[in-house]
Structure 1
Amino acid sequence: MTTDPSARSPDAPLRSFGRIKSRPIKPRQAALFDTLMPSVKLPDPAAGPIDVAALMPGAKEVWLEIGFGGGEHLAVQAARHPDALMIGCEPFINGVASALRHIEEGGLKNIRLHADDARAVVQALPDGSLDRIMILFPDPWHKARHNKRRLIQPAFAAQLARKLKPGGRLRFVTDWKDYAGWALERFLATPGLVWMADETADWKVAPEDHVVTRYEEKRLGDTDPLFLEFERV
């Protein structure tokens, strides 16, 4: 598991996330990296294309959550949809530790984790393999000089669209007005993606299946959460 940014390839894209570790991980959660992580770890995307069907034979859907934070949303969705394979990516090691705890406590068998940059996973996934993509509260990089580090860039948006099946959905949620506008502009310019909003409530009111996380409750942004939902056509 790569946790040291200095170990990344010089050709790797700019980091789209901040810190990768904060407080010491609790002993119980640290132990899960040895006991549970090997069985739920996603294959290394650097090794080649990911065989989605082999990860969970018979899965009816495949979901990808980019930046799952503490794993609350990922775990709840996995419990609600036990027949769907849930792929979660998160470089923040404390968040991965928390997700492992949720997986163990919930007895969840349909989650696979990647403890690093999601962009490598997206590149390794087959085109047209995903039913849902969830990007909830990514690092906003709200200083103009740092905007180039934002996850949502034109090339990545186009790549996400290609990974979705026809009719697949992409949900982007942020509590920063500027990032919402930035992301909307780039997704609208992405061939194959259609914004599903018809009225203001469609992006200001949380979808019925939304799961409120501890991060969202902190209200760290400059607006209430904004929900942008797109469909692959």
Structure 2
Amino acid sequence: MTTSNKHPDAPWRNFYGRIKGKSLKASQEAYLDEDLAALSPGAVDWDVNPDRLPLDVAALFEGRPAWLEIGFGGGEHLVHQASTHGDVGIIGCEPYINGVAMLLGKIRRAGVTNLRVHPGDVRNLFDVLPDASIDRAFLLYPDPWPKKRHHRRRFVTPDHLQPLARVLRPGAIFRVATDIPDYVRQTLVEVPKAGFEWLAEQPSDWRQPWDDWYSTRYEQKALREGRVPHYLTFRRNG
């Protein structure tokens, strides 16, 4: 169910965090068994694509623009975007298999057909995404890794941002939502250095959510606990 690193040329990569949590429901096990393979871009798997040949994104979505959500959690926002924007295709990436199972159930109920799912580390997906193949990317409430010694594990570091910049086309939008002030700080420092422009002109540009926003369960928890969401919009430099 997850991308294999058994191939001798596969890079060894740390993954920080849980890959599986509490036991899955029988229905969720069925979603994984019955639906995941058909929705996964097979070229990401090292055993299927050991030479790391580029993924044919245009064929994957029949020529529609392609978007990417990095770490989709339970999949609420991902399914909402797919339902709202039927003229695009969206790849959702999430290594936490419980979240993948939750997403598959939401896909069944919503009946959306413009989604693909990579149940693994986004860095393996970056390996096979062609240059300038993605038109929009989302990073929503990523793991904050609050301890200073763990900040290198955050997504907003060069090891992640440089391959993200490579796969985004010039002019593509990158949205980041977080409720952690220090994550905001690091994002505003590191993302522009990777080749992006922050598009905010006034406080409402980072205090108000986007017009097509769907508030996730992570955001609702943050609001209940008194934390303030920030909505940061960047554009990939041309």
Judge same fold: TM > 0.5, yes or no. yes
Q: What is residue 115 of structure 2 aligned with on the other side?
A: 111
Distance of 1:141 and 1:129 partners within structure 2? 29
Q: Secondary structure at the match of 1:75?
A: helix
Residues in 2 aligned to 1:108 and 1:62: alpha-carbon distance in whole angstroms: 15
Q: 1:4, 1:57 → 2: CA distance?
A: 27
Maintained 8 Å contact 1:177/1:223: no
SS in 1 for 2:176: strand
Q: Does 1:199 align with 2:198?
A: no
Once the two structures are TM-superposed, the CA of residue 14 in structure 1 deviates from its matched residue by 2.8
Aligned-pair distance for 1:21? 1.6
C-alpha distance in 2 between matches for 1:131 and 1:164: 6
AA aligned to 1:28 is S
Matched residue type, 1:22: G
Residue identity opposite 2:97 in structure 1: I
Q: Identify the match of residue 124 of structure 2 among 109, 120, 125.
A: 120
Residue 78 of structure 1 corresponds to: 82
> How far off its partner does 1:180 sit?
1.0
2:62 counterpart of 1:57: yes
Check if 1:12 corresponds to 2:15: no
CA distance, structure 2, for counterparts of residue 218 and residue 92 of structure 1 = 19
Aligned residue runs from structure 1 range 126-165, under 5 A: 126-165=130-169
**For the structure 1 residues 6 and 224, does the alpha-carbon distance in structure 2 shift closer, same or farther, using more than 3 Å as the test?**
farther
For the structure 1 residues 152 and 98, does the alpha-carbon distance in structure 2 shift closer, same or farther, using more than 3 Å as the test? same
Identity %, equivalent residues: 42
- Cα RMSD for the two superposed structures: 2.3
The count of residues paired between Structure 1 and Structure 2 equals: 230
For the structure 1 residues 224 and 7, does the alpha-carbon distance in structure 2 shift closer, same or farther, using more than 3 Å as the test? farther
The two structures have a TM-score, normalised by structure 2, of: 0.89
1:212 matched to which residue of 2?
A: 215
C-alpha offsets along residues 15-55 of structure 1, whole Å, 9 cap, x if unaligned? 2x411222211111210112111211122423222110121
SS state at 2:68 partner = strand
Change (3 A) 1:40 1:3: closer
Q: Which moved more, 1:108-117 or 1:29-38?
A: 29-38
Provide the secondary structure at the position in 2 that maps to 1:219. helix
The two structures have a TM-score, normalised by structure 1, of 0.91
Instruction: Trace 1:85-100 onto structure 2 (pairs within 5 A).
Output: 85-100=89-104
Question: Comparing 70-79 with 45-54, which one deviates more in the overlay?
Answer: 45-54
- The answer for unaligned runs of 5 or more in structure 1 is none
Structure 2 alignment gaps of length 5 or more: none
The residue number in structure 2 matching 1:21 is 20
User: Tell me, what secondary structure is at the counterpart of 2:42?
Assistant: coil
2:43–2:128 CA contact under 8 A, matched in 1: no
Distance 1:172 1:13 in 2: 24
Using the alignment, how far apart are the partners of 2:9 and 2:28 within structure 1?
Answer: 29
